[in-house]
C-alpha cells in the first residue's frame, strides 16, 4: 500500500489514533477546519515552530522514520523547556515526496506519538501535502508557564553562574559519523549517533529550574554552546567567561576525537550544536541551592561552566589559563556545506 492509494484522508485516518493523550482539554481535534482546545487559566501561553527540511536538517537514508518523528517533536519541546514551560499541544504538517514509503511515515508518527505521550502533549492536527523532491516537516508546539516562572534569554546579570543541564558536542560528533558513513552499530559510536537522531528535550529540567528561584535566563542548545550562550549575552547586555575544563564532554566524544584525530573535544562541545540540553544563568546566592536540588531531582550534576561578566568580554579560558575569544558562530544552515 502506498500514500497514493490511501490518499490524504486515508492517511489522516491512519495517523489519527493515539494523537490525544489529554482529551479532557480538547473540544475538537483532527477532523474539522481547526482544532479547538481550552487554554489553561492563570498561565502565560508559549508557541514555538520548527521547520525540518530533508538534505538541510536531515538525510532520510541515515535516519529512521521513528527517529525523525521523535526528533521533529523533540526540537520543539526543547524550545518550550528553555522558557521554563510545559508543552501541551502540537500541530504537525508534512510535505511528502512520492518516493517516501508509507512505512517510513508510520514510523515517523510512531516516534512522535511515543515522545508526545511521555510529555503528555496532544497532537491536535496539521496539514499534509505532496512535495516534488524533499520531505519537509513543520511542527508547532503550544505550551504554558506560570507567569512568575517564565525564563527569558534577557535576564542574566553580572556575577551570575553559567550552567549546562547536559553534556555537549555528542550530537555533532554523531552527525559526523553519519556523514562519514561510519558503522554506528556499537558503542561508543551508537551513543553519539543516538545523541544526534534521538535528542532528549530537557522539559523536566527546565520546569525544575524555572520553579527553583534564582535562575535568571535560559536557552536550549540548538546552534552550539558558544553561539547559544552568545544569545544570552546579547539579549542580557552582559559578557560571558567559560572555563574549558568545566564544559561537560562524554567519554564517547573523547574517544571519537582521539580515534579520528578530530582535535579537542571542548571545541566540538563549543561549536557542535543540536545538543538540546539547556544553558542557564543563576544568581550567585542561589547557585548552590539550585545545583543541589538539580542533582537530587535528576541524579546527575548541573554543570557550572562559567560566569556572567561585564559586557565586551566573551571568552573561554583554557586549561593553561589563557583566555581565547569565543566566536558566536555555531551551526549555521545557510553557510555549512557538509
Ligand atoms: Mg531555542
Per-residue pLDDT tens digits for 132-148: 999 999 999 999 999 99
Asked whether residue 334 is domain-assigned, the answer is no
Share of the chain above pLDDT 70, in %: 97
* CA–CA gap between residue 156 and residue 228 (Å, rounded): 13
- State the DSSP H helix or E strand holding residue 285, giving kind and residue range, or none if neither: helix 284-298
CATH number, domain of 21, equals 3.30.1330.10
Average pLDDT over residues 184-200: 97
Whole-number pLDDT of residue 333:
46
Q: How confident is the model at residue 162 (pLDDT cuts 50, 70, 90)?
A: very high
Of 333, 55, 60, 71, the closest CA to residue 197 belongs to 71
Of 21, 242, 51, the closest CA to residue 137 belongs to 51
**Same structural domain, 113 and 253:** no
Q: Ligand 1: distance of its center to the CA of 165 in Å?
A: 14
Place of cell 543563576: 282
256 within 8 A of 55, measured Cβ to Cβ: no
Q: Ligand 1: distance of its center to the CA of 108 in Å?
A: 22
Q: Ligand 1: distance of its center to the CA of 220 in Å?
A: 5
Average pLDDT over residues 295-323: 96
Q: How confident is the model at residue 179 (pLDDT cuts 50, 70, 90)?
A: very high
**Same structural domain, 175 and 42:** no
Of 58, 56, 87, 53, the closest CA to residue 73 belongs to 87
Task: Report if pTM > 0.75.
Answer: yes
Whole-number pLDDT of residue 168:
98
Give the residue numbers spanning the domain of 213: 153-325
Sign of CA dihedral 107, 113, 119, 125: positive
Whole-number pLDDT of residue 1:
82
Average pLDDT, the chain: 94
Q: Ligand 1: distance of its center to the CA of 75 in Å?
A: 8
The string of pLDDT tens digits covering residues 4-20 is: 899 888 999 999 999 99
- pLDDT surpasses 70 at 337: no
**Same structural domain, 39 and 179:** no
Q: Ligand 1: distance of its center to the CA of 308 in Å?
A: 20
The string of pLDDT tens digits covering residues 100-128 is: 999 999 999 999 999 999 999 999 999 99
Q: How confident is the model at residue 329 (pLDDT cuts 50, 70, 90)?
A: low
Average pLDDT over residues 28-55: 92
Whole-number pLDDT of residue 336:
42
Q: Ligand 1: distance of its center to the CA of 314 in Å?
A: 20
Average pLDDT over residues 70-77: 98
Number of folded domains in the chain?
Answer: 2
Domain boundary residue among 79, 114, 149? 149
Whole-number pLDDT of residue 88:
96
Q: Ligand 1: distance of its center to the CA of 219 in Å?
A: 6
Domain boundary residue among 149, 174, 199? 149
**Same structural domain, 80 and 192:** no
Average pLDDT over residues 299-327: 95
- pLDDT surpasses 70 at 98: yes
Q: Ligand 1: distance of its center to the CA of 26 in Å?
A: 27
The string of pLDDT tens digits covering residues 253-296 is: 999 999 999 999 999 999 999 999 999 999 999 999 999 999 99
Amino acid at each position: 500500500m502506498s500514500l497514493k492509494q490511501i490518499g490524504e484522508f486515508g492517511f489522516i485516518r491512519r495517523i489519527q489514533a493515539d494523537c490525544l493523550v489529554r482529551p479532557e482539554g480538547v473540544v475538537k481535534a483532527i477532523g474539522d477546519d481547526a482544532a479547538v482546545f481550552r487554554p489553561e487559566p492563570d498561565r502565560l501561553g508559549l508557541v514555538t515552530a520548527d521547520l525540518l527540511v530533508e538534505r538541510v536538517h536531515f538525510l532520510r537514508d541515515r535516519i529512521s522514520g521513528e527517529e525523525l518523528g521523535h526528533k521533529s517533536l523533540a526540537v520543539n519541546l526543547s524550545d518550550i523547556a528553555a522558557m521554563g514551560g510545559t508543552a501541551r499541544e502540537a500541530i504537525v504538517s508534512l510535505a511528502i515526496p512520492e518516493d517516501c514509503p508509507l512505512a517510513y511515515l508510520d514510523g515517523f508518527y510512531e516516534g512522535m506519538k511515543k515522545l508526545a505521550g511521555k510529555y503528555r502533549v496532544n497532537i491536535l492536527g496539521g496539514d499534509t501535502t505532496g512535495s516534488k523532491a524533499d520531505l519537509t516537516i513543520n511542527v508547532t508546539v503550544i505550551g504554558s508557564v506560570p507567569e512568575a516562572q517564565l525564563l527569558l534569554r534577557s535576564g542574566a546579570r553580572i556575577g551570575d553562574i553559567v550552567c549546562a543541564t547536559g553534556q555537549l558536542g555528542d550530537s555533532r560528533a554523531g552527525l559526523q559519523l553519519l556523514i562519514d558513513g561510519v558503522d554506528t552499530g556499537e558503542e561508543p559510536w551508537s551513543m553519539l549517533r543516538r545523541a544526534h537522531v534521538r535528542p532528549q528535550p530537557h522539559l523536566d529540567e527546565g520546569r525544575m529550574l524555572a520553579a527553583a528561584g534564582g535562575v535568571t535566563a535560559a536557552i536550549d542548545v540548538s546552534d552550539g554552546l558558544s553561539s547559544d550562550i552568545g544569545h544570552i549575552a546579547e539579549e542580557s547586555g552582559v559578557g560571558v567567561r567559560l572555563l574549558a575544563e568545566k564544559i561537560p564532554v562524554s567519554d564517547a566524544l573523547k574517544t571519537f576525537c582521539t580515534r579520528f584525530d578530530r582535535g579537542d573535544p571542548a571545541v566540538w562541545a563549543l561549536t557542535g550544536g543540536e545538543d538540546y540540553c539547556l544553558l542557564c544563568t543563576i544568581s550567585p546566592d542561589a547557585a548552590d541551592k539550585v545545583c543541589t536540588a538539580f542533582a537530587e531531582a535528576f541524579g546527575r550534576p548541573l554543570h557550572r561552566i562559567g560566569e556572567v561578566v561585564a559586557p565586551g568580554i566573551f571568552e573561554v579560558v583554557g586549561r593553561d589559563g589563557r583566555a581565547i575569544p569565543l566566536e558566536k558562530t555555531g551551526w549555521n544552515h545557510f553557510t555549512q556545506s557538509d
